[in-house]
Amino acid sequence: MGISYRTHLHLEVRIVYTKLEQVMTQTMTDHAQELKSKIETKTAIVGIVGLGYVGLPLADALHTGGLRVLGFDVDPSKIRNLEQGENYLKHLGADMTERLSASDRFSATVDFDRLDEPDIILVCVPTPVGTHLEPDLSYVIKTAEAIGSQLRPGQLVVLESTTYPGTTTGDFVPAMLKAARENNRGSFTVGEDVFIAFSPEREDPGRKSHTTTTIPKLVGGTDPISTELACSAYAHGVTEVVPVSSTEIAEAAKILENVFRAVNIALVNELKVVFDTMNIDVWEVIRAASTKPFGFMPFYPGPGLGGHCIPIDPFYLTWKAREHGCVTRFIELAGEINRGMPEYVVEKTAEALNDDCKSVKGSNILVVGLAYKPNVDDTRETPAAEIIELLADRGAKVTYHDPHVSKFPNMRNYSFDMNSVVLDQNTLEQSDCVVIVTDHNAIDWSTIGSHASLVIDTRNAMDGIGSSKARIVKA
């Protein structure tokens, strides 16, 4: 098979898989056989649609595994960067893009008419939410139509974008097959002529301990052969592939992972507020509870959720659940608590300034960290933007420092003409208050402690810096 499994924990998966093997030997079509052999001999071409935080490292992993990779993106600047070996995602390093641009097994294009070239197409396009937290599947559907308009027998298409259960079979495949018919590509039977799977991405940008290659990959096909083909393809770039029995299981597993995080972060955010009124430090409480060797997993409070996943994905399920007459109370409550955090931070800032006989209005406030998480330049959904806006609305003169984000980027809901200021003695002494939003490793916390007068610390970043002139308020 060429696929490695865990030999523990996944007994049911193994059983399902054994059954799949039996079905497979009975029904594999010529198209499936041909694709299987191309994958085994590494002559298959993999097309990756969407070369962002998920698609680019995936392209690199499969290329490193020996496959030929053709990347697709609507953004021509990304393609130009890749041709020149430059990495537009700094945390992934220039080595990756230099390696890809130097290889005759990698190229990238904006020409979606070339979607008939790949044997395997992996879809990694955005799945945002609209203003009312409703799923925005427009990128996924557009991609399905682009693939459909070039579809040919023998292609395997895998959706990776996070979405609600049922998207692959209910939205993606129908849009793709409709486009295929409308473009006279013929009619296709899934599992015989073309093959379909869902495989959720579990990327955590900036995390060094786990990479695209080492994070186990869930794969659920629409049928046993699709699952088998997708597993064999991923096995070239991922050390552990975990087959599941359907696309819906794979879709739901990804949503469970993200809901789990959103709910647990909301829990500690709520406890932070409660313990603060009791003068109890939630960070020390979490550290203490973490000494329990079982039944507890630490989550940490913060200034609010950010990134492409946790603030967004749970609401895909909420929306879909409504269609089934169900209410996702945990998700709604977690969202409410987490969304309240920027306001809480601003309130704590106002109180702390008040204690210094100052108002927010007219104060110089330095926000430290614009990215939504440490050591990356990703500002998507960052709570820093809302905190800056709330402070500015109250009349503060706000500046920011972020070693990874030199200019305030264009955002869907926020627009500020700001550049990162230098973090030095002068800047800190000019500031009435410093609000720490992101704890990047590159920030010198002791300089802040030595020269700021008041620090609102949402990340416990000032813990353990030793003596500090600044008054530290945790928020």
Active-site residues, by number, are 309
Q: What distance in Å separates the CA atoms of residue 80 and residue 84, rounded to the nearest whole number?
A: 6
Q: What distance in Å separates the CA atoms of residue 107 and residue 203, rounded to the nearest whole number?
A: 22
**Which of 81, 109, 161, 328 lies at the binding interface for ligand NAD (CB under 6 A)?**
161
In the complex, least distance from residue 198 CB atom to ligand NAD, rounded to whole angstroms: 11
Our CB check for ligand NAD shows the closer of 38 and 308 to be 308
- Is 162 a binding residue for ligand NAD by CB under 6 A? The answer is yes
Helix intervals (H) in 223-307: 224-234, 247-277, 282-289
Q: What are φ and ψ of residue 258, in 5° steps?
A: -75, -35
Return the DSSP state at 197: E
In the complex, least distance from residue 200 CB atom to ligand NAD, rounded to whole angstroms: 7
Torsion-angle region of 8 (φ positive above 0: left; ψ -120 to 50: alpha; else: beta): beta
- Is 72 a binding residue for ligand NAD by CB under 6 A? The answer is yes
Our CB check for ligand NAD shows the closer of 51 and 229 to be 51
Q: What distance in Å separates the CA atoms of residue 443 and residue 473, rounded to the nearest whole number?
A: 18
Hey, which residues between 89 and 128 contact ligand NAD (CB under 6 A)?
124-127
Our CB check for ligand NAD shows the closer of 191 and 311 to be 311
In the complex, least distance from residue 258 CB atom to ligand NAD, rounded to whole angstroms: 8
- Is 353 a binding residue for ligand NAD by CB under 6 A? The answer is no
In the complex, least distance from residue 125 CB atom to ligand NAD, rounded to whole angstroms: 4
In the complex, least distance from residue 140 CB atom to ligand NAD, rounded to whole angstroms: 8
Of 46-54, 221-229, 345-353, 398-406, which part binds ligand NAD (CB under 6 A)?
46-54
Number of DSSP helices (H) and strands (E) in the chain, helices first: 17, 13
Output the CA–CA distances (angstroms, integers) from residue 332 to 68, 271, 308, 339, in the order listed: 43, 17, 18, 10
In the complex, least distance from residue 373 CB atom to ligand NAD, rounded to whole angstroms: 9
Q: What are φ and ψ of residue 46, in 5° steps?
A: -105, 125
- Is 74 a binding residue for ligand NAD by CB under 6 A? The answer is yes
- Is 157 a binding residue for ligand NAD by CB under 6 A? The answer is no
- Is 52 a binding residue for ligand NAD by CB under 6 A? The answer is yes
Closest listed residue to residue 462, CA positions, set 353, 344, 368, 345? 368
Q: What distance in Å separates the CA atoms of residue 120 and residue 49, rounded to the nearest whole number?
A: 11
- Is 308 a binding residue for ligand NAD by CB under 6 A? The answer is yes
- Is 75 a binding residue for ligand NAD by CB under 6 A? The answer is yes
Cβ–Cβ contacts within 10 Å for residue 15, how many? 11
Q: What distance in Å separates the CA atoms of residue 246 and residue 263, rounded to the nearest whole number?
A: 26
Residue nearest to ligand NAD (CB): 52
Burial class (CB in 10 A: 0-12, 13-18, 19+), 277: exposed
In the complex, least distance from residue 57 CB atom to ligand NAD, rounded to whole angstroms: 9
Closest listed residue to residue 384, CA positions, set 319, 316, 452, 436? 436
Of 10-18, 150-158, 195-203, 336-344, which part binds ligand NAD (CB under 6 A)?
195-203
Of 5-13, 137-145, 269-277, 290-298, which part binds ligand NAD (CB under 6 A)?
137-145
Q: What distance in Å separates the CA atoms of residue 68 and residue 371, rounded to the nearest whole number?
A: 34
- Is 51 a binding residue for ligand NAD by CB under 6 A? The answer is yes
**Which of 44, 46, 48, 54 lies at the binding interface for ligand NAD (CB under 6 A)?**
54
Q: What distance in Å separates the CA atoms of residue 226 and residue 382, rounded to the nearest whole number?
A: 38
Return the DSSP state at 420: P
- Is 143 a binding residue for ligand NAD by CB under 6 A? The answer is yes
Our CB check for ligand NAD shows the closer of 53 and 408 to be 53
Cβ–Cβ contacts within 10 Å for residue 374, how many? 16
Residues near ligand NAD (CB under 6 A):
49-55, 72-75, 78, 124-127, 139, 142-143, 161-162, 201-203, 205, 308-309
